[in-house]
Structure formats: C-alpha cells, structure tokens
Structure 1
Amino acid sequence: MKADLVVKNGRIFDGGKSLGNTAAAVKDGKFVFVGKDAAVETYIGEDTKIIDAAECSILPGFVDAHLHATMCTELYATKLIYGIDRQEGESRRAYIERNLEPVREYAEENPDLPIIRATGWTPAAFQLDPEGTPTCHEIDELVCADRPVMLRSFDHHSVLVNSKALEMAGITKDTPTPRNGMMSRDADGNPTGLFQELSAICMLIDKLPLIDFSVEEYKAGILNFQKEQAFPHGLMGIFDAYATENALAAYKELAESGELKIRVRTALLADLSRPFDQFEQMVKDKGKYDVGDDFKIETVKFFCDGGGFTFYMNEPFEAQVLKEMGYPPEYRGFPQWTEEEMKQAFLLLAKGGYQIHVHAMGDAAVKQTLNAYEYIEENGVRGRRNSIAHIMNIDDGDIERMARLNVVGSIQPTWPIIDYFSMMFVLPLLGRERMYNQYPIGRMKKAGAVMASGTDFPITVEIDPLKGIQVGMTRTTPKESEHYEEYKGIISGPEDDPTADLMSLNDMIESYTLSGAYQMFTEDVTGTIEAGKSADFVILSGAIEDAEPMDIGEMKVDKFILKGEQVK
C-alpha cells in the first residue's frame, strides 16, 4: 500500500510520551504506519507527498478542553476594550472615560448598527471602589442614549447596558431579580444597568434578543475562529463550554455543509431561570444537533458558583475586603444551585447519557459538585467522564475524591501564576495562603485525576497550547508579560513546597492531546499518533524536549495536518 502522505525525520510524541519513532504514513486520512524512517520507505509511491520534519517534534493535534469559540464572534462583531488597566491613583470617572471613549467612537463610525456591543471591560477594577461600576446613565452620556449599548466584561460574568437597552427590554424597578443573579439597583430600586451571573444575563438576553448574535453572525465568527485561531495553533478539537440556540444552529449548519473542519463538542446550559423539566427535555432531545464525528452535544453545563464575590468558598473572604465592601464578616459566597438540586439533575442527566461539566472556582463549589457526582454513583450510575472546570481552590481530600470518581479536571494552565492581577485582585479577596494554593494542577495529576488542558479563550486572550505547556511546567510569569521583571521567578505553589504543582513535559503534552480527546469521547479516533487513528498532528518549529521550559512558549506550530490534510 502506498501512502498519500509520509512524514519522516521527526521526533514523535504519542500520548505525551516519546517512544523513539521518527516517521508516519497516512492513507485516506488515517495513520497506516508509525515507526522508523527506514521502514516508512515502503509506503512511498510516485504520488506520495513527503514532509521532512527536520528533527522537529511531531505531536498529536491539540485539544482545547474548555473555551468559548462562539464567543469569538465578539472579536469580529463588537468593539474590543480588553486590557485597559486602571492606573494607580486614577479616578473612577477618568477610568470609565478611557474605557468608553473607544466605544463612543465605534458608535459614531457605525451609525446604522441597531445595537452597540463592546467586550472586555474589567469588573475587578471597580471591586474596591465605593462608587461601584459604571451606570446606565454614564453609558448614555459617554457613548449614546438613542441606541441600546451592551458591554460584556472580559470574564463574561457581568454585562453593562444603557438606559435604552433597559427600556427596550422592559426592565424596570418592578422587574424581579433573577435567582442567584445580580441586577444592580440604585437607592430607589431602579436598575442601574449592571447584570451579573448567567441567570441575570440570560434574563436580559431573553427580554432583548438583539443582544445575542444571529445565526449568520455566529457562523462567520466560528469560521474566523477556525481559520485565525484553531489552524494556526494546531487545534484539532475543542470543547465549547456552552453555546446559545443561535450558536448551536450555526455549528450544525457548518458541520452539515462541511465547512466545520475541527471536531467540536459543546454543552447545553442548565438554566437557573427555568423549571426542572428542562433536564427531562434535554434527555428527550439528545442527538438533535449531532452531525457525525464533527459536531456533537454530549454535555450539560452547570455553574456551581460565579466569579469574584460570587466564588463559593469554604472559609470567608478576607476580613478587610469584606469590611470595605460592606459584606458581613462570615460571607463566603454562595452556590448557584443547591446541592440537592444538583444531585437530582445530575442523576437524571447521567441516566440519559449526558456528561456533566461544572464551573466551580471556590473550594466549597468543588466540594458540592463532587458530592453530587458521588451521589450519582451511590445510585448505581457510573459517571460519564464528568468534569469540573477551573478549580481555583480545592481541599486535599477532594483531590483524592476527584481521582476516585474519575472526574476530569478541565483546567487552564496559564492561570496559576503570581502576577499583577493576582496581587491586585486575588490577594485582597482570598489572602496569601489561598492565592499561592490556587489551581493545584500538579497535585491533582499526581493523585491520579485526568487533567485536560484548555484556555477559556477568549475570556483569556492567550490560546496557544505551547504557552500553556510552558506555564504548566513553570507556574511563573512568562517573559513576554509586561510585569515579568517584577514577578519573574516567583512560582505559584504552596509556600512550604512551591514546586508541588509543577507538571512534567510529558504530562502537559498529554493534557493537551490524549486527555482532551478523552474528555470529548474521541480518544478512539484521535489524541495519539498510532495506526488506525485519524491523522491529526502538528510539526513544531523545533524539538520541544530540547527546549528550556521557559522558552517553550516561543515555539510555533510549523505545520498542521488535520484528518490527513495539511491546513497549515
């Protein structure tokens, strides 16, 4: 048999390990041989394309186990206001003006847009400000008052709107605040334009559908993500951690037309504002959107807690910040769902064949989620690779429980660093010990839990898996950070054992390849370089095992072969 493609003179990693193989042959989109250069010669024919890897590393195609690809529509259809840091001593008004000036210019440049959307403002910059976040009236004044304006925060846990948006949505002082969401009000009870957490944001979207993107806008955003982000970085698969109805329709249409090249798994949202029978409907509808191997919905996503002051912690937030913000001294956040609600919903969904994926930042949120996962097993249902995303803090005993329950840690390796953000916002909220113990990826891996790496892109703007591998191995500020000189060499880990959470090169590669495929139920199809599997692989710009860990993020994906076809 002659191959369509042969790659040789490389260093092949398979499932995170280097087994000494140097060559592979591909036929009809699948590997038919993996081995040494000399043996691959028999697969070379007159029409075989040959790639010389020049002794560079060959890895399975990467998987991003938690991102928001459909949110990338924002990168092409909204005004971006990411990275506007509040300067020391800067007044609230001056900072708001710096954020809103580019939005005002965008509105003036686009007079025919029915809604002005922008993305990227930072709620934490107002965290300790007694005057709080901007109001609808300030947006009216500084952007426009005759069209609706919607500003999403960089973390997507907060939305600001102007008075016109409130008017069009019919939201007034008589509108009840959604359960476990926050709708900010003034002293008279009138909404100020700030909506926090998904139940409140979903209410706003339901009342003003114009806020969401159309199916066609989502299709354009997904294709742009595929071309500008997935292909350049070697992503052969992604878990898109929740998509709206319009986004689901966009994915389905792209998969059916053959325009969706990467493998996508996404999730239905467990919506606090809807009755319990939403889960019964999900079970009835399972498979409704699926299109072969390219697009499937295997998962339901829950938020156990939120962000910032809505983290759900075992112990209260730091006393000083609680005092300054007017919270009671025992305040430790709260769960979005009760434990009993999660147990019953999880059991129903597990019986219906769904995987469950839970956003849990605080250690109390992780504990409650694991309690619910354990309940499933106690009732005779083996969990379907259920996962917990983020895991900022976790009890030692719950680390062991994650491994025992086969819970996948859907983690973000670039997050656990001590830097400007940590010192300005995490330290005041959680204190030194919890800050240094955040995101204990290494300890979870050592305990036997599956770690599947992702980025939370575009909430985190860095999507490159190689940069994730670097930070996962070093847990320190990258060289390209503007704050590198200030924080270089500080390792994010327990102060009595700073290196406890460092990951090895093999473990990091595994987390971005085989473990991600495992979370997506595609490990029988892809995730390793072996005969019979889909030919999804990247050739790097050098030999990753020879690079210094702090330099791995400077490497590039030189070539990307997806299902046997070179897309980069």
Structure 2
Amino acid sequence: MHADLLFTGGPVLTPKGTAATAVAVTGDRITAVGHSELHELAGPRTEVVDLAGRLLLPGFQDAHVHPVPAGLELSQCDLTGAKTAGESVAAVRAYADAHPDRTWILGGGWSMEAFAGGTPTKELLDAAVPDRPVYLPNRDHHGAWVNSRALELAGIRRDTPDPADGRIERDASGEPSGTLQEGAMQLVGRLAPPATAADRLAALLHAQRHLHALGITAWQDALVGDFLGMDDPAVAYRTAAQEGTLTARVRGALWWDRERGAEQIPELVEKRRELSEGRFRAGSVKLMLDGVAENGTAALLDPYLDTCGCATANRGKSFIDPARLPQYVSELDALGFQCHFHALGDRAVRDALDAVEAARAANGPSDTRPHLAHLQVVHPDDVPRFARLGATANIQPLWAAHEPQMDELTIPFLGAERAARQYPFGALLRSGARLAAGSDWPVSSPDPLQGIHVAVNRVEPGGDGPVFLPGERLDLADALTAYTAGSAYVNHLDDTGRVAVGALADLVVLDRDPFAGPPEALADTSVALTYVGGQRVYAAR
C-alpha cells in the first residue's frame, strides 16, 4: 500500500533520539519510520517531501496561550513593538487618529520597562486621546493603562478604595495616576464594549494561522471564560469546531471565578459538556493563584523588599483562599478535571502543590495531569514535589533571561537569594519533573524556537549580555521534548508529540537541523512546513 505522504532525506527526531531519515504517513497517521527502504512506499499520488538535511519533528504544542485575545490585539491598538513611553504614546495617537469612529480605544501589549516604575500615567494618554476612553492592558495582562476619560466613566476618584484583588496606582497627592493593577482593571474593563462573536472568530482564525506558521499544531487555551474584561473565546472555539475551520487540536482551561467557591463546579461540568466538540476539548480548569512579581502581586513566602533592600509588609496576593484550595482541587480532580494553575511566586507554587497532594490523598491516583504554569520563584524544598506528585512544570522559557523588566522591576525587590531561584528549569528536570512549555502569548512571542533558544542559552535571542542562572539551562533535546511530548501530555493528546508508528501525523519541518549548529544560533531557525493529521496547514514561501 502506498503512503499518502513521505518524508525522506533528513534527520527525524524520534522518541529515542534522531535515528531515522524517513517517515511515511497514510491518512492522518504515521505508518512507517525508517530510512531509504521507505522509498518503496511512494506511489503516483504520494506527496514526497525531500527534507534535504532539515529536521523533521513532532508538531510543537503550546501548553499555555491566549490566541483569541492575541488575535484581537493584533487588530486593535497594538503596542507590542513600542520600546519607550514616547513610542507608546505615538502609537496610541496614530491609532486613535486612524479610527475616529471608535468610541473606545482598545488594545494593549505595552511593556512595563518603558515607563518609570512600570506605571504609565493618565496624562500621557490624555495628550494623545483626550475625548474618548482608553483601556490598554500591558503585555502580561496583570495591569492596564487608562486615561482620565476612562477613570471618569468608571467613577474612580481619590476616595475610591482598592478592590481586594487589585490596586489603583496613585500619584503623590493620592489621585488615581492611570495604571490599574490586577482586579482593579475590571473597574474600567467591564465598561469597554466587548468584541462581537464575528470578531472573536476572526481573531481565533488569524491567531491559528500565525501559530501554524510557527510549527504549532496544538495548544491549551489558558483562559476560557470571563476575566477582567477579556473576551471569552468559548463561542469562537465552538463555532470553529462546528464549521471545521479549527485545524489545530485545542484543550480549553475553563476559568475558575475567584470571587466564588465550590458552588460553581456544576456549571463547569456543564460547560465542559457544552463546549467539547471536534478538535476542541474543555477538560481543564484554570485557577489563578497569584499575580506577577513586577507589580508586587506574585504570592511570596517572605515579603518583597523595598528600594533600599529592606523587607516590606507585602507578600503579594492569593487570589484563591489557600485554606479552601485543597477542597476545590480535590473536587475538580474527582470529576476528571485537569487543574491548570497560574503559580508565579513561591507561596503560590507551594499552595498549588499542597492542593494537588490533598487531591491525591482524597482520590488516589488519577490521570488528570495537573500542571503549574510560570514558576518564576520556586522554593528548593518544593522542587522534588513535582515528580513525587505527578505535577507537570509548565514553563515559559522566554522569561528566563536578563532584560529590563527582570533587572529593574523584579530582581531588586526579590533580593539575591530569591532571584537565584527564578525559573529553575534545570533543577526541576534533574529532580525528575516532567516539563511542558508554552508562551503565554500575547504576553510574549508564541514562537517555540525563540523559547527554545532561551531555554538552552538563558540569554535573549540576539542578546550578548550575561547568562541568566546558567545552571538552569536545558539541553536542546530536553527543550524540544518540553515543547512536544511534554505539552502533548498536559493537553491529553497521547497520540501526538512523537514521531512513531501509529501516532497522529502532526509534524513540523524546520529550515535546518538545529543539532548541527551552535546553540547561540537556535533563534535563527524557522519553520518550513507544518502538518496536522497529515494535512499541510503551513508552507514557508
């Protein structure tokens, strides 16, 4: 029987290492892995791909990503390319001038390091857009920049109290300054007009094309639901699945409303049933335990430091009561839900692991595959617990490098000891933990090859600065495994993530063999071809 698709003439990344040079695909499955003997499977209708020395590997999978908000931001006021406050304001002014019909100026993606203290002011926006409300989340979506008109519409004044789960930044006189942190974002975000269903679907399909071009064949959407004014992607996924336009395989993490408790669990069960269709499965629950270190909301075991290096009273925020978390996780686990934790600070990491441990004690072994995302600061005592509890470490490698947001807004406020515990990829792997990898796009680039570059080098692509904690570097094979088999595991896509007979033919051809070059050049690698189920979904021009 002839194959439908045949790859020949290049290295193949197999589960046991690069030990093949040819792969045959029939239908949507891999039917043979070998060498030149597979040439006999080529028939008159076989698509033959000459690898010409390029690496063939399983499709990349992003274990933590937000494609619909990313797609929407690309069509709104996109500040991801702005490097300074001046560039950011100029981009806002240009967008507002080009869209005089927009009642709100929406978008985002600004970087905290572009502004003094990481907190841009309303006056900067007022100079660009004085007459319409502006709402612009930053690149990590844990803070938003607003103008005076937006503050006025939301009724935010000097005497407005901070919400329990957020903070209104204020100037020296006590007036709201124009930056809203965490839960305070919702004070304005809930007033902004939501994207239409058509807009969300278009954003999803635009994002999908972009992700396929980066070799991504599957992902876990890390937030399906309503959160701080972000547009719920659920209907877009269901529509795309029904219409057959969802070519990727997607697992959705349903949002755990942190203002509620266990009473929402039956609703999550119903959403799982309603939304799971075609290539979309809503079998996970997203539990955001804390915030981010840059704005002092990541939950830490010990207090943050001030600018003088002295301990403050701030240990960050726990958005879900740690005393109740074990109960919630145990109930979700018993119902077959995977728990996907946002855990950035060492206290949040410990709370998540304690909850997983409680679920194991209550329910016994299960195949729910909990995973903890971000893991910026991990206490050494908790590193071996990942392997012991079967909790996957879901890493975002692009963040593990020296850059202004790290060097100016994080390290000084953590102190030397905690700063040396950041993003401990190597320690986790050595302890036996399973690694998965993701981008958190639009927080950072979704390009897996950029992330792999940082995981291996601990230096930003194109950077020549000092290596960030070199003992935590991964080798190339382990980094690739995290982005393929590791993420496939947390996505419950057991027929993917490997090049083996019987596996689904979700495959990527790179433009070279990265094993043949220096690690410093990894970021120069690009994707040539992407296949999902044996069907080509991207080809480089």
> What's the TM-score, normalizing by structure 1?
0.87
Q: Show the counterpart of 2:259.
A: 273
Q: How many residues are treated as equivalent by the alignment?
A: 530
Q: Show the counterpart of 2:58.
A: 60
Relative to structure 1, the CA distance from residue 175 to residue 439 in structure 2 (aligned partners, 3 Å threshold; closer, same or farther) is same
Q: Show the counterpart of 1:105.
A: 94
- Contact persistence 1:539–1:559 (CA under 8 A): yes
Q: Name the SS of the counterpart of 1:272 in structure 2.
A: coil
1:165 counterpart = 2:161: no
Q: Deviation of residue 19 (structure 1)? A: 4.5
1:230-277 deviation digits (Å, cap 9, x = unpaired): 121110011121134641101110111011111111211122234542
Specify which of 457, 467, 474 is matched with residue 503 of structure 1.
474
Q: Show the counterpart of 2:6.
A: 6
CA distance in 2, matches of 1:321, 1:102: 35
Q: Show the counterpart of 1:402.
A: 386
Q: Show the counterpart of 2:229.
A: none
- Contact persistence 1:347–1:381 (CA under 8 A): no
Q: Show the counterpart of 1:286.
A: 272
Q: Name the SS of the counterpart of 2:19 in structure 1.
A: coil
Relative to structure 1, the CA distance from residue 286 to residue 244 in structure 2 (aligned partners, 3 Å threshold; closer, same or farther) is closer
Q: Show the counterpart of 1:526.
A: 496
Q: Deviation of residue 183 (structure 1)? A: 3.3
Q: What letter corresponds to residue 8 of structure 2 in structure 1?
A: K
1:193-231 deviation digits (Å, cap 9, x = unpaired): 53221x33345444x251x3222111111111122x212
Specify which of 131, 138, 143 is matched with residue 129 of structure 2.
143
The 5-angstrom pairing of residues 49-198 of structure 1 reads 49-86=47-84, 95=85, 98-126=87-115, 128=117, 133-135=120-122, 139-145=125-131, 147-169=132-154, 177-184=162-169, 193-197=178-182
Q: Deviation of residue 550 (structure 1)? A: 1.0
CA distance in 1, matches of 2:215, 2:221: 16
Q: What letter corresponds to residue 29 of structure 2 in structure 1?
A: K
Q: Show the counterpart of 1:535.
A: 505
Same amino acid, percent of matched pairs: 31
Q: What letter corresponds to residue 534 of structure 2 in structure 1?
A: G
1:307-358 deviation digits (Å, cap 9, x = unpaired): 12111112222243577xxxx7343223222211211211221122111111
Specify which of 445, 458, 461 is matched with residue 475 of structure 1.
458
Q: Name the SS of the counterpart of 1:9 in structure 2.
A: strand
1:391-433 deviation digits (Å, cap 9, x = unpaired): 0111122010111111111101222122443322222222233
CA distance in 2, matches of 1:45, 1:216: 43
User: Which blocks of at least 5 consecutive residues in structure 2 are unaligned?
Assistant: 227-231
Relative to structure 1, the CA distance from residue 332 to residue 127 in structure 2 (aligned partners, 3 Å threshold; closer, same or farther) is farther
Relative to structure 1, the CA distance from residue 321 to residue 74 in structure 2 (aligned partners, 3 Å threshold; closer, same or farther) is farther
The 5-angstrom pairing of residues 382-397 of structure 1 reads 382=365, 384-397=368-381
CA distance in 2, matches of 1:67, 1:397: 29
Q: Show the counterpart of 2:526.
A: 556
User: Which blocks of at least 5 consecutive residues in structure 1 are unaligned?
Assistant: 87-94
CA distance in 2, matches of 1:409, 1:7: 33
Q: What letter corresponds to residue 507 of structure 2 in structure 1?
A: F
The 5-angstrom pairing of residues 158-557 of structure 1 reads 158-169=143-154, 177-184=162-169, 193-197=178-182, 199-202=183-186, 204-206=188-190, 208-210=191-193, 212-227=194-209, 229-244=210-225, 246-292=232-278, 294-307=279-292, 308=294, 309-320=296-307, 329-382=312-365, 384-460=368-444, 462-478=445-461, 480-481=462-463, 484=464, 487=465, 490-493=466-469, 498=470, 500-523=471-494, 525-557=495-527
CA distance in 1, matches of 2:82, 2:527: 30
Relative to structure 1, the CA distance from residue 433 to residue 127 in structure 2 (aligned partners, 3 Å threshold; closer, same or farther) is farther
CA distance in 1, matches of 2:344, 2:11: 38
1:166-193 deviation digits (Å, cap 9, x = unpaired): 4545666786643312234678987555
- Contact persistence 1:74–1:119 (CA under 8 A): no
Q: What letter corresponds to residue 438 of structure 2 in structure 1?
A: G
> What's the TM-score, normalizing by structure 2?
0.91
Q: Deviation of residue 527 (structure 1)? A: 0.9
Q: Name the SS of the counterpart of 2:419 in structure 1.
A: helix
CA distance in 2, matches of 1:188, 1:352: 51
